[in-house]
Amino acid sequence: MRVNCIINGKPRCFEVDASMKLRQMLLLNGNFAVRDSDDSEGFCGSDTVLVDGTPVFSNLVLAAEVDGCEIRTPDGLGNSRNLTIVQQAMIDAGVVQSAYNAPAAALLLTWLLENNPDPTKEDIRDALSGIFIRDAGYEHYYLAVRLALEKMKDGSYKSEIAPSFRPELDVIGKPASKIDGPQLVSGERAFVEDYVTPDTCYMAVLRSPHASAYINSIDDSEARKVEGVVEVLTAFNTPETHYMQAGQGNPEPSPHDRRLFNLKVRHVGDRVAAVIAETLEAAKEACSKIKVDYEVLPAVFTVEDAMAPGAPLVHNGIVEYRSGAPEDLDEYNKLAGDPREGKVIYQFPLHADIRKNIAASNKGEIGNVDEAFARSDAVVEATYQTSQIQHTPLEPHICFAKMEGGRLVVYASTQVPYHVRRIVGWVTGLPENRIHVIKTRVGGGYGSKQDILIEDLTSYASFVTGRPVFCRNTREEEFIANSTRHPMRVHVKMSGNKDGRLTGIYMEVCANTGPYGNHCLTVPMNSCSKTLPLFRCDNMRYDLKVYYTNTPPAGAYQGYGTPKGTYGLMMAMAELADKLGIDYKEFVLKNHVDEGYMLEILKGLGEGREGNVVPVGSCGLDEAIRKGCDMIEWGKKETCDDPDWKIGKGFAMIMQGSGLPGLDHSEAIAKLETDGTVILNSGGADIGTGLDTISAKIVAEVLKLPMDKITVVSGDTDSCAFDTGSYASSGTFFSGNASLAATRKLKDMIIREAAFQMQEDEADLEVRYPGEIYSQKTGKTLSYYDLSHTACGGAGHGQMIAHGTFVTDASSVPYGAHFAQVAVNVRTGEIKVQKFYALQDAGTPINPEVALCQMYGAVMKSIGHTLHEDMILDKEGRCVNANMTDYGVPMISEAPEDFKAVLIDVNDKFGPFGAKSISEIACNGAAPAIGIAIHDACGIWLRSWPMTPEKVLKELGKF
């Protein structure tokens, strides 16, 4: 069929078949910014275009339907050098973060303002109701519209974008455009899929239909006959190397308990085979022709199943230790089962017992908890259950690998490029010098791209075939074959006295790590290590066990274990306040830590090693609690005209970390180019959070150089130096400090060289905006341009290049308090979050507008986890809602009507320019704040996620 249409003002003609979607046709036309986040589900809106002036999902339109139509795509707006007012306003408002569908959002806002020059908040909400924003939330989209309108009407912005911090600094702590914003918002080449070459092969993965089964045999003969098939990979023709996929430190505590393909599948969706073919269709067809003979085994899906005596074992093979093997290991290994079980290799002991499905465990205590319970006026004890949650990044897991000059080049959407390189090295046997990982822009990570879930297999496929190979998870695969948030059962016992003093805390954490042990120790440890140090309490004990099960795998997720621990502890604290007859606010204020309090509890809470006992550093916790209570009018009872709706308020104090002191490591290289501009090579991985902008601002601040004279190259393992990556809230603190160290060294070099060239004393020289050296003694100046030009001339000292490294034992902990006001319908069980106030101490927020958006985005995620999101498995272990619509992510319709993020101004001693982390902590508060508010509204304690209307009604005894 012939389609004549106009695309972005230009006439175009296509030959299409009946089934071709409009998006496919647009891709043929080069409009690659029309993206796909949901495999044609009509949900996420990444595929939004305008057809004859109306926004539609291009994946739900057949190409033949647009014959004679006029089509506008996101890339038809401005380009990065000539942005439209709307695109620029989005960047300035801070909403362009991971930005996979930011171009689509820009198109929608452009359409809105073209058709409604004076939109209300409701109009904006309506326009954005078809687009899923996971990273930045929706609040600053309202601001973006306001800014755009101001610019259109008055030529400049009138509204404040975000508060500014540190008046003595030029760019740090001030809103400024994110440096990758123009590229991202305009839909230019940025993501892995944009770099795929025409000769690329596609990979499809055959996945297990069983939760647990041995593979007896695989017959791939018919699959290999499919035209275009290049290779079929299975457990029978791939290495027996055991490894793990967690990208965190080295050695990382997670057990090496998997191969590329195992002879035992351990969850529905586990890898069975992979087909590499010249087209995706051929790869899929070949997958369907692979015959697998399974020996189906019984499975376990919950920690209760897994811990039951005689429970089926998820791993029952040989156990090895790289260090610290127990003396009875040989005896233990005599109990190993079928050889197809494979091995579990521990890097060091994790107090595991795979014959009881225990992947790891730990416990510790300060003071005497039992004695405290016995002597206290009141004790509460309750169990809190959290569910399995998927990250749902807009860009699914994706990888493109190719062999080039005998080296493996891997384009990865990853938070940890250097760990990708290391793990790809393990599975291919290549040394690191022969692997080049290029981290592209990342269309959403949230922890899931901290794990090497797709890069291992894609890279191996390219390595063995010699062909470029591309692999992109389907949305269903994102649910069933990725990492997820560990479901946890947190049992809390807490005691206090009527004078308002907390006397004892015990928490038992049982975590479900699924079939493999990615982050199996560290996530549950985090449930304790990032929660117990909030409390001024002398008697605390924790006991955690992590179980293998046959559910979809668990791993890192923004907040790590902290949201679950915070939920249990803060709910228990509210229950205890209730029992003691004390106002919860006063109880919290009396028992939280503040600066200088010695955190003895940290002694046993290292990540697989002894922890550092340190005093609390900079801490805005008290201010956050008091300010938030004022904002939400704590103590004032709200009512509704409809007697079925009851209103309540709640809050929770929260903390996180800023990277892992003693474990994380960052490096940067700062180069003064020959024209006086600077290129900073940062090992840090900007995953949309503005880390590159932070590095650029640090350079600008130290060297007094305009931002447009600074370029940051990051996450490229060839050109940059090592960095452990973006996880555990490490970006600003670790990578930022490495950038600062490199830049300060470069400044020293500049001063030294200038002293030589100017024949002055170094002590008399200073750097000055816009990039020059000034002599306070003689008044002479020398531009960076002239300085570098001379240095790189035949008689100079050469290019000025500085290398900065950052490691530390210091902890910079962000604190905060999150507040919710909810309305609960006691007749129908419906829950509405009317107000949500997030107050956080981020030290010096280097990019304040970006920081605020990350708070909004993280809170939206945690509201989703609290009220809506849940991976539901049937009795066979199949996820029955492995799609966006049924899974239940919150969108703009679910956002609180009154939603505020507030930055508490605290200057930190160790962070770059006083900065601490910002984003991850914002995942921690919603569940307890909402849970406590629900209790305040209608008197029930909801002790499991998600807090659904059905659970409300059950607790109220309605049925």
Binding site for other proteins (CB under 8 A): 1, 18-19, 21, 38-43, 45, 48, 54-57, 59-62, 64-65, 67, 108, 126-131, 475, 827-830, 868, 872, 880-881, 883-886, 888-891, 893-894, 948-950, 953-954, 958-959
Q: Do 247 and 423 meet the contact criterion of CB atoms below 8 Å apart?
A: yes
Q: Cβ closer to other proteins: 742 or 863?
A: 863
Least CB distance from residue 890 to other proteins, whole Å? 6
Name the nearest CA neighbour of 525 among 499, 564, 478: 564
Q: Cβ closer to other proteins: 475 or 545?
A: 475
Least CB distance from residue 119 to other proteins, whole Å? 12
Q: Cβ closer to other proteins: 514 or 864?
A: 864
Whole-number Cα distances in Å, 852 to 34, 87, 372, 630, 911: 27, 19, 41, 20, 18
Least CB distance from residue 375 to other proteins, whole Å? 43
Least CB distance from residue 18 to other proteins, whole Å? 4
Q: Cβ closer to other proteins: 232 or 953?
A: 953
Tokens of 598: 């010695």
Decide: residue 452, CB within 10 A, 0-12 exposed, 13-18 middle, 19+ buried.
buried
Q: Cβ closer to other proteins: 41 or 716?
A: 41
Whole-number Cα distances in Å, 281 to 21, 138, 188, 462, 470: 16, 37, 27, 18, 13
Least CB distance from residue 866 to other proteins, whole Å? 13
Least CB distance from residue 228 to other proteins, whole Å? 20
Please name every residue paired with 806 in a beta bridge, in sequence order, or none if there are none: 666
Q: Cβ closer to other proteins: 16 or 853?
A: 16
3-state SS class at 887: helix
Q: Cβ closer to other proteins: 170 or 830?
A: 830
Least CB distance from residue 383 to other proteins, whole Å? 21
DSSP code string of 474-493: -HHHHHHSS--BPPEEEEEE
Count how many Cα atoms sit within 13 Å of the Cα of residue 103 in the half-sphere of its side chain: 31
Integer Cα distance of 593 and 649 in angstroms = 23
What are the residues whose beta carbons fall under 8 Å from the beta carbon of 542, sequence distance 6 or more? 362, 363, 364, 365, 506, 507, 508, 509, 528, 532, 605
Integer Cα distance of 133 and 663 in angstroms = 33
* The dihedral sign for the CA sequence 370, 374, 377, 379: positive
Integer Cα distance of 572 and 380 in angstroms = 7
Q: Cβ closer to other proteins: 65 or 160?
A: 65
Least CB distance from residue 51 to other proteins, whole Å? 9
Largest CA distance in the chain: 88
Q: Cβ closer to other proteins: 619 or 879?
A: 879
DSSP 8-state class, residue 883: S
Q: Cβ closer to other proteins: 45 or 317?
A: 45
Q: Cβ closer to other proteins: 33 or 215?
A: 33
Chain CA centroid to CA 145, Å: 27
Integer Cα distance of 923 and 558 in angstroms = 7
Strands (E), 516-574: 540-548
Least CB distance from residue 1 to other proteins, whole Å? 7
Decide: residue 877, CB within 10 A, 0-12 exposed, 13-18 middle, 19+ buried.
buried
Least CB distance from residue 50 to other proteins, whole Å? 10
Please name every residue paired with 655 in a beta bridge, in sequence order, or none if there are none: 815
Least CB distance from residue 859 to other proteins, whole Å? 16
Q: Cβ closer to other proteins: 889 or 921?
A: 889
Name the nearest CA neighbour of 727 among 809, 778, 779, 656: 656
Spatial strand order of the sheet with 271-277 comes to 229-234, 271-277, 201-207, 469-472, 398-404, 407-412, 435-439
Q: Cβ closer to other proteins: 91 or 128?
A: 128
Q: Cβ closer to other proteins: 310 or 959?
A: 959
Least CB distance from residue 873 to other proteins, whole Å? 10
- CB atoms under 10 Å from CB of 609, counted, come to 10
